Protein backbone atom coordinates (compact mmCIF):
# COMPACT_ATOMS: atom_id res chain seq x y z
CA UNK A 1 0.00 0.00 0.00
CA UNK A 2 1.49 3.36 -0.95
CA UNK A 3 2.26 5.95 1.68
CA UNK A 4 3.36 9.55 2.02
CA UNK A 5 6.95 9.79 3.26
CA UNK A 6 7.39 13.57 3.34
CA UNK A 7 4.97 16.49 2.89
CA UNK A 8 7.05 19.53 1.98
CA UNK A 9 6.27 22.86 3.67
CA UNK A 10 7.35 25.11 0.82
CA UNK A 11 4.81 25.98 -1.85
CA UNK A 12 5.92 25.58 -5.44
CA UNK A 13 4.78 27.77 -8.31
CA UNK A 14 4.56 26.39 -11.84
CA UNK A 15 5.58 28.47 -14.87
CA UNK A 16 1.95 29.50 -15.41
CA UNK A 17 1.61 30.83 -11.84
CA UNK A 18 -0.32 27.93 -10.30
CA UNK A 19 0.68 27.02 -6.74
CA UNK A 20 1.34 23.46 -5.54
CA UNK A 21 2.33 21.51 -2.43
CA UNK A 22 4.63 18.54 -2.96
CA UNK A 23 4.69 15.21 -1.17
CA UNK A 24 7.12 12.35 -1.64
CA UNK A 25 5.23 9.06 -1.88
CA UNK A 26 6.20 5.45 -2.28
CA UNK A 27 5.27 1.84 -2.01
CA UNK A 28 6.34 -1.64 -2.95
CA UNK A 29 6.65 -2.16 -6.72
CA UNK A 30 5.85 -5.33 -8.66
CA UNK A 31 9.49 -6.44 -8.31
CA UNK A 32 9.28 -6.12 -4.47
CA UNK A 33 11.57 -3.11 -4.39
CA UNK A 34 10.38 0.22 -2.99
CA UNK A 35 9.59 2.82 -5.66
CA UNK A 36 9.22 6.52 -4.98
CA UNK A 37 7.45 9.32 -6.84
CA UNK A 38 6.45 12.89 -6.12
CA UNK A 39 2.88 14.10 -6.08
CA UNK A 40 1.83 17.72 -6.44
CA UNK A 41 -1.40 18.83 -4.82
CA UNK A 42 -2.91 22.05 -6.13
CA UNK A 43 -3.70 24.96 -3.84
CA UNK A 44 -6.41 26.11 -6.27
CA UNK A 45 -9.50 23.93 -5.96
CA UNK A 46 -10.23 23.74 -9.70
CA UNK A 47 -6.96 21.89 -10.37
CA UNK A 48 -6.38 18.18 -9.93
CA UNK A 49 -3.29 16.53 -8.42
CA UNK A 50 -0.48 15.35 -10.65
CA UNK A 51 2.52 13.07 -10.16
CA UNK A 52 5.91 12.25 -11.60
CA UNK A 53 6.98 8.96 -13.09
CA UNK A 54 9.03 6.80 -10.73
CA UNK A 55 11.83 8.98 -9.37
CA UNK A 56 13.73 6.24 -7.57
CA UNK A 57 13.61 2.60 -6.62
CA UNK A 58 15.24 1.47 -3.39
CA UNK A 59 15.86 -1.93 -1.80
CA UNK A 60 13.86 -1.16 1.36
CA UNK A 61 11.55 1.35 3.06
CA UNK A 62 14.31 3.03 5.09
CA UNK A 63 16.32 3.80 1.95
CA UNK A 64 13.22 5.24 0.30
CA UNK A 65 12.64 7.44 3.36
CA UNK A 66 16.28 8.59 3.17
CA UNK A 67 15.76 9.52 -0.50
CA UNK A 68 12.53 11.40 0.26
CA UNK A 69 14.07 13.38 3.11
CA UNK A 70 16.98 14.45 0.89
CA UNK A 71 14.89 16.10 -1.83
CA UNK A 72 15.72 19.77 -2.37
CA UNK A 73 13.59 22.69 -3.55
CA UNK A 74 15.49 22.72 -6.86
CA UNK A 75 14.77 19.03 -7.37
CA UNK A 76 11.08 19.55 -6.57
CA UNK A 77 10.83 22.44 -9.07
CA UNK A 78 12.23 20.20 -11.81
CA UNK A 79 9.92 17.35 -10.78
CA UNK A 80 6.89 19.67 -10.95
CA UNK A 81 7.86 20.70 -14.48
CA UNK A 82 8.21 17.03 -15.52
CA UNK A 83 4.90 16.08 -13.90
CA UNK A 84 3.01 18.89 -15.60
CA UNK A 85 4.58 18.06 -18.94
CA UNK A 86 3.32 14.46 -18.82
CA UNK A 87 0.25 15.16 -16.74
CA UNK A 88 -2.12 12.39 -15.75
CA UNK A 89 -4.90 14.11 -13.79
CA UNK A 90 -7.26 12.59 -11.25
CA UNK A 91 -10.18 13.80 -9.20
CA UNK A 92 -9.15 16.56 -6.76
CA UNK A 93 -11.10 15.02 -3.87
CA UNK A 94 -8.14 13.45 -2.04
CA UNK A 95 -6.74 14.12 1.42
CA UNK A 96 -3.36 15.90 1.47
CA UNK A 97 -1.76 13.36 3.83
CA UNK A 98 -2.59 10.35 1.60
CA UNK A 99 -1.07 9.48 -1.76
CA UNK A 100 -3.29 10.58 -4.62
CA UNK A 101 -2.07 7.67 -6.78
CA UNK A 102 -1.32 4.00 -6.20
CA UNK A 103 1.85 4.05 -8.34
CA UNK A 104 4.13 6.54 -10.09
CA UNK A 105 3.25 7.65 -13.61
CA UNK A 106 4.72 5.39 -16.25
CA UNK A 107 7.31 7.21 -18.31
CA UNK A 108 7.17 7.08 -22.10
CA UNK A 109 10.62 5.57 -22.42
CA UNK A 110 9.97 2.47 -20.30
CA UNK A 111 10.26 -0.65 -22.40
CA UNK A 112 8.83 -4.05 -21.67
CA UNK A 113 10.31 -7.39 -22.61
CA UNK A 114 13.85 -6.06 -23.11
CA UNK A 115 16.98 -7.59 -21.71
CA UNK A 116 18.43 -4.21 -20.69
CA UNK A 117 18.85 -3.96 -16.90
CA UNK A 118 16.48 -1.67 -15.04
CA UNK A 119 18.15 1.12 -13.10
CA UNK A 120 16.93 1.79 -9.59
CA UNK A 121 17.61 5.52 -9.72
CA UNK A 122 18.54 8.21 -12.21
CA UNK A 123 22.14 9.15 -11.38
CA UNK A 124 21.90 12.44 -13.30
CA UNK A 125 18.90 13.61 -11.30
CA UNK A 126 20.38 12.51 -7.98
CA UNK A 127 23.70 14.15 -8.87
CA UNK A 128 21.85 17.49 -9.17
CA UNK A 129 21.27 17.24 -5.41
CA UNK A 130 25.02 16.87 -4.90
CA UNK A 131 27.75 14.34 -5.51
CA UNK A 132 27.66 13.33 -1.84
CA UNK A 133 23.93 12.55 -2.12
CA UNK A 134 24.60 10.33 -5.15
CA UNK A 135 27.44 8.54 -3.36
CA UNK A 136 25.20 7.98 -0.30
CA UNK A 137 22.37 6.57 -2.41
CA UNK A 138 24.75 4.32 -4.34
CA UNK A 139 26.11 3.12 -1.01
CA UNK A 140 22.67 1.72 -0.19
CA UNK A 141 22.70 -0.50 -3.28
CA UNK A 142 24.17 -3.96 -3.62
CA UNK A 143 26.69 -4.83 -6.34
CA UNK A 144 24.17 -6.32 -8.82
CA UNK A 145 22.04 -3.15 -8.62
CA UNK A 146 25.12 -0.96 -9.15
CA UNK A 147 26.02 -3.11 -12.16
CA UNK A 148 22.49 -2.71 -13.58
CA UNK A 149 22.73 1.05 -13.12
CA UNK A 150 26.14 1.31 -14.80
CA UNK A 151 24.97 -0.74 -17.79
CA UNK A 152 21.53 0.90 -18.09
CA UNK A 153 23.05 4.39 -18.28
CA UNK A 154 25.91 3.36 -20.53
CA UNK A 155 28.68 4.06 -18.00
CA UNK A 156 30.00 0.54 -18.64
CA UNK A 157 29.33 -2.30 -21.05
CA UNK A 158 27.85 -5.44 -19.54
CA UNK A 159 31.17 -7.22 -20.17
CA UNK A 160 33.16 -4.43 -18.43
CA UNK A 161 30.93 -4.44 -15.37
CA UNK A 162 30.70 -8.21 -14.92
CA UNK A 163 33.77 -8.48 -12.71
CA UNK A 164 33.91 -4.89 -11.45
CA UNK A 165 33.99 -4.35 -7.71
CA UNK A 166 31.38 -2.35 -5.85
CA UNK A 167 33.84 0.53 -5.50
CA UNK A 168 34.72 0.49 -9.21
CA UNK A 169 31.04 0.47 -10.20
CA UNK A 170 30.32 3.38 -7.85
CA UNK A 171 33.26 5.32 -9.33
CA UNK A 172 32.01 4.65 -12.89
CA UNK A 173 28.53 5.91 -12.05
CA UNK A 174 29.70 9.01 -10.18
CA UNK A 175 32.17 9.85 -12.94
CA UNK A 176 29.50 9.40 -15.60
CA UNK A 177 26.98 11.53 -13.73
CA UNK A 178 29.62 14.20 -13.09
CA UNK A 179 30.50 14.43 -16.77
CA UNK A 180 26.85 14.29 -17.81
CA UNK A 181 27.74 11.84 -20.56
CA UNK A 182 26.58 8.33 -21.23
CA UNK A 183 26.84 6.06 -24.21
CA UNK A 184 23.68 5.59 -26.23
CA UNK A 185 21.70 2.54 -25.05
CA UNK A 186 21.98 1.00 -28.53
CA UNK A 187 25.78 1.09 -28.30
CA UNK A 188 25.66 -0.50 -24.85
CA UNK A 189 23.35 -3.29 -26.11
CA UNK A 190 25.69 -4.09 -29.02
CA UNK A 191 28.54 -4.76 -26.59
CA UNK A 192 26.44 -7.06 -24.43
> What pLDDT shows up at residue 88?
45
> What pLDDT shows up at residue 112?
42
> What pLDDT shows up at residue 103?
76
C-alpha to C-alpha distance for 81 and 22, rounded to whole angstroms: 12
What pTM was computed for the model? Answer: 0.49
Q: Name which of 38, 33, 43 is nearest 119 in CA terms.
A: 33
Task: Identify the H or E element spanning 20.
Answer: strand 19-28
Condensed to tens digits (0 to 9), the pLDDT of residues 1-16 reads 899 999 999 899 998 8
How many residues make up the chain in this entry?
A: 192
Segments of the chain with pLDDT less than 50: 88-96, 108-116, 182-192
Strand 19-28, strand 34-42: pairing: antiparallel
Amino acid sequence: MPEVFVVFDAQLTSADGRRWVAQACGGIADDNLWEGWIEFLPLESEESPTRTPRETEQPNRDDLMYWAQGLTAVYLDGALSRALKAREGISPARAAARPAFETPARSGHERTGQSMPRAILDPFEVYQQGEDVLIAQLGALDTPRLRDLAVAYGFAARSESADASREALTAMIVSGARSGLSRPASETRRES
